[in-house]
Amino acid sequence: MFDLIIRNASLPDGRRNMDIGIAKGVITAVDQSISSEAGQILDAVENLVAPPFVDPHFHMDATLSLGMPRMNVSGTLLEGIALWGELRPTLTREALVQRGLRYCDLAVSKGLLAVRSHVDVSDPRLVTVEAMLELRDLVAPYLDLQLVAFPQDGYYRSPGAQASLVRALDMGVEIVGGIPHFERTMEEGRASVEALCRIAADRGLMVDMHCDETDDPMSRHVETLAAQTMRFGLQGRVAGSHLTSMHSMDNYYVSKLLPLMAESGMAAISNPLINMMLQGRHDTYPKRRGLTRIPQMIEAGIPVGLGQDCVMDPWYSMGTGDLLDVANMAVHASQMGSVADKTTLFDAVTVNSARILGLDGYGLEVGCNADLVILQARDPAEAIRLRPARLHVIRRGQIIAQTAPSLSVLNIPGRAGHVDPACFAPGQKFD
Q: Is 166 exposed, middle or buried (0-12, 13-18, 19+ CB in 10 A)?
A: middle
Rounded to the nearest whole angstrom, what is the least distance from the CB of residue 210 to Zn ion in the complex? 5
Q: Is 213 exposed, middle or buried (0-12, 13-18, 19+ CB in 10 A)?
A: buried
* CA–CA dist 28, 48 (Å, integer): 19
| Helix, coil or strand: residue 245 | helix
**Which residue's CB is nearer to Zn ion, number 309 or number 371?**
309
- Which ranges of 9-92 does DSSP label H, i.e. alpha helix? 77-87
What is the helix (H) or strand (E) element at residue 150, kind and residue range?
strand 144-150
Q: Is 214 exposed, middle or buried (0-12, 13-18, 19+ CB in 10 A)?
A: buried
**Which residue's CB is nearer to Zn ion, number 117 or number 376?**
117
* CA–CA dist 357, 383 (Å, integer): 23
Rounded to the nearest whole angstrom, what is the least distance from the CB of residue 15 to Zn ion in the complex? 36
User: How many Cβ atoms sit within 10 Å of the Cβ of residue 89?
Assistant: 9
* CA–CA dist 103, 63 (Å, integer): 7
What distances in angstroms separate CA 348 from CA 95, 218, 323, 373, one per listed residue? 32, 27, 10, 16
Amino acid present at 233: G
Going by DSSP bridges, is the β-strand pair 206-211/175-176 parallel, antiparallel, or unpaired?
Answer: parallel
Shortest Cβ contact with Zn ion: which residue? 309
Rounded to the nearest whole angstrom, what is the least distance from the CB of residue 221 to Zn ion in the complex? 15
Give the interface with Zn ion as residue ranges (CB under 5 A).
309
Rounded to the nearest whole angstrom, what is the least distance from the CB of residue 146 to Zn ion in the complex? 14
Rounded to the nearest whole angstrom, what is the least distance from the CB of residue 211 to Zn ion in the complex? 10
User: Measured over all CA atoms, what is the biggest interatomic distance in the chain, rounded to whole angstroms?
Assistant: 72
**Which residue's CB is nearer to Zn ion, number 62 or number 324?**
62
Rounded to the nearest whole angstrom, what is the least distance from the CB of residue 150 to Zn ion in the complex? 8
Residues serving a catalytic function are 213
* CA–CA dist 418, 410 (Å, integer): 6
* CA–CA dist 200, 221 (Å, integer): 17
